[in-house]
Structure 1
Amino acid sequence: MNQPLRHAHDQMFSDLIRTRTGIQLPVHRRQMIESRLRPRILAVGAKGFDGYLAQLFDNGLLEEELPLVIDLLTTNKTDFYREATHFDVLVREIVPEAIRRSAPIPPRLKIWSAASSEGAEAYTIAIVLAECLRAGKNFFYAILGTDISQRMLERAQRAIYTKEQLSPIPAELRARYTMQGRAPAHAGTARMVPELRDRVQFMHLNLMDRTYPVDRDVDVIFLRNVLIYFGAEDQASVVSRLVGHLRPGGYLIVGHSESMVVSHPQMKQHSPSIFRKT
């Protein structure tokens, strides 16, 4: 493939992924991109990454392949109890505050995990809230998990995890909120109990969409370690759209490395990486 055409395809591909997902793909990451897309390169019989791009843009494979491409390029890093201080704030401050505000009627907390991947964040939230209920606090809650990757959403809906994945959960809570796999095919795995699965729903959503089919009175939105992959303009647009779905006094929680990203006239910093809508 001649160099001008190769560079044109590279730029077209980079622009396409940024427009559709917000993810920026610098040229120096070409080797990483090719590695992640290798399953699709082999599946369509392309001659390397350049041949694959040619098939996408010149041979009409783009719309068919694009969902698979996005799925492979999405960073799906997720852990239970990741950045645990956020869950501490949820339990110590946000839940009691909601109860006081709603008294004497128990509040119904709406929490949105806006880049839920395979569900570890959403189910961590469910566990800590279930523990609040066990401790005698009186409230209801519902959790929505959304993600751009259909493959990750399917895993989240199954709610089956390996023992290694579940290891960050304290042993007592693992025993209480997971069920060990008994069939040979599920050896070494456990599934979240129905009590938690019933409180969490998952839905496909692209943060780059202009509108989100989500309630506009959400109490807490978790969007952690996602905005770092976006350019400044897309970061601001996503934050603005998310703010529109928070109730007054609602919270936006981002990754600890993303505190400087959130700049919105309606959001006031509560603590590092936690912002509250005025």
Structure 2
Amino acid sequence: MLPLTDADFTRLYTYIKTHYGIDLSKKKQLISSRLTNMLIHDGYQSFSQYTDEIISGRHPEMISAMLDRLTTNYTYFLREKEHFNFLKQTVLPELAARHASDRSLSIWSAGCSSGEEPYTISMYLKEYFSALPGNWDTRILATDISQDILESARNPFYSSEALKELPALWREKYFVPVGDGRFTVSSELRQNVIFRPFNLMEPIRFKRKFDLIFCRNVMIYFDRPTKEALVERFYHATVPGGYFFIGHSEGLDKENCPYHYLFPAIYQKIAAPRPQGGDVS
């Protein structure tokens, strides 16, 4: 195993936190164990040599590979079902009423990983809005920092185990068997999700504000100031009355959170001005 000196560890985690918000300052063993084999395979003689290359910023593909190894891209279809029950029973009827004239939704899956979350959302959208009159634009934006994980999401292969929580009718309708017990998504579902690379540390400057933002099990890697600053950016990118979903393992400080707390891991941007004490900008 290549030794990771304290100096190289500090350089590496500082660079990652500064540019990507991920706090690994207490994860020296994790960095060492998850990167060593890759470094040896790629011909590096030391962590110092590798860290020099990362910090140079000349090789985005190296950064993408590093972040893939250091963060856990663990997800599955219908993860945290309570969110999708609320989506179906509350959010979608509100969106149907709000967009009755333009029939165009604005939904973002931030930190979409290998695609299970945005494809799950998309199935709910398809099921609900296909029963309404007119043609609805239900396409959703799905972003991740990793180009590699985005490529796997655009052209996915899922095991039958990954689909087990989905209704049988949905498995038949939205998935196509490709052999070896694996499935890909139907063209209808694939075309309903727009995958784009995006670093959550950057300013959020999309053309439209969002009716709903999913950012679940992403902020577990951020320290409190980074998380609060990101939530503030999400808030400004949300329409009044819009919703914000986070993971159940994540918590927001109610005193500083600009959103109104509704249920565990579900928040809303209320239409009225925020109380003065809620401003964290």
After superposition, where does 1:90-105 map in structure 2 within 5 Å? 90-103=87-100, 105=101
**For this pair of structures, how many residues does the alignment match?**
265
Q: Does 1:43 align with 2:36?
A: no
What is aligned with 1:57? Answer: 52
Q: Does residue 1:202 correspond to 2:195, yes or no?
A: yes
* 2:212–2:243 Cα contact (<8 Å) kept: yes
Q: What's the CA shift for 1:106?
A: 5.9
Provide the secondary structure at the position in 2 that maps to 1:258: coil
TM-score when scaled to structure 1? 0.86
**1:219 alignment partner, one of 200, 211, 220:** 211
82 and 265 in structure 1: CA distance in 2 versus 1, 3 angstrom threshold: closer
Quote the Cα distance in structure 2 between the aligned partners of 1:164 and 1:55.
37
| Structure-1 residue corresponding to 2:224 | 232
Evaluate the alpha carbon distance shift between residue 67 and residue 231 of structure 1 in structure 2; reply closer, same or farther with a 3 A threshold.
same
Contact 2:104 2:138 in 1 (8 A): yes
In 1, Cα distance between equivalents of 2:58 and 2:69:
15
RMSD (CA atoms): 2.5
Q: What per-residue deviation string (whole Å, max 9, x for no partner) do you get for residues 192-237 of structure 1?
A: 111111111100001112x134233211000011112100110011
User: Higher helix share goes to which structure?
Assistant: 1
Q: C-alpha deviations, 1:102-127, integer Å up to 9, x for none?
A: 44x36322110001001000000011
Identical-pair percentage: 35
Instruction: Name which of 249, 252, 270 aligns with 2:244.
Output: 252
Tell me if the contact between 2:109 and 2:142 (Cα under 8 Å) persists in the aligned partners.
Answer: yes
Q: Is the Cα contact below 8 Å between 2:143 and 2:195 reproduced in 1?
A: yes
Offset, 1:252: 0.7
Q: Which runs of 5+ in 1 are unaligned?
A: none
Unaligned runs of 5+ in 2: 271-281
- Alignment-mate amino acid for residue 126 of structure 1: S
1:137 Cα deviation from its structure 2 partner? 7.1
Given the superposition, is the C-alpha separation of residues 59 and 107 from structure 1 closer, same or farther in structure 2, using an over 3 Å criterion?
A: closer
* Paired amino acid for 2:104: R
- The one of 95, 113, 118 aligned to 1:117: 113
Structure 1 residue aligned with 2:277: none
1:272 and 2:264 matched: yes
Decide whether the 8 Å contact of 1:239 with 1:262 is kept in 2: no
CA contact (8 A) 1:98 1:107 kept: no
**Alpha-carbon separation, structure 2, partners of 1:121 and 1:189:** 18
**Letter matched to residue 259 of structure 1:** G
Query: CA-to-partner distance for each residue in 1:163-214, whole Å, 9 max, x for gaps?
Result: 2222221222101111111xxxx432111111111111100001112x1342
How far apart, CA to CA, are the structure 2 residues paired with 1:215 and 1:250?
16
Scaled by the length of structure 2, what TM-score is found?
0.85
Tell me what 1:170 maps to: 167
Distance in 1 between the 2:29 and 2:258 partners? Answer: 41
Correspondent of 1:32 among 13, 30, 33: 30
Q: Quote how far apart the aligned CAs of 1:73 are.
A: 1.6
> Does the 8 Å CA contact 1:178/1:190 hold for their aligned counterparts?
yes
Contact 1:179-1:192 within 8 A present in 2 as well: yes
Give the distance between the partners of 1:62 and 1:221, measured in 2 at CA: 30
Q: Which whole-Å deviations, capped at 9, do the CAs of 1:64-112 have from their partners, x for residues lacking one?
A: 3333322322321111100011111111101111223344x36322110
> Bigger shift: 118-127 or 136-145?
136-145
Q: Secondary structure at the match of 1:190?
A: strand
**Greater CA deviation, 215-224 or 147-156?**
215-224
Distance in 2 of aligned mates of 1:259 and 1:59: 31
Q: Report the more deviating stretch, 109-118 or 62-71.
A: 62-71
Q: Distance in 1 between matches of 2:238 and 2:220?
A: 21
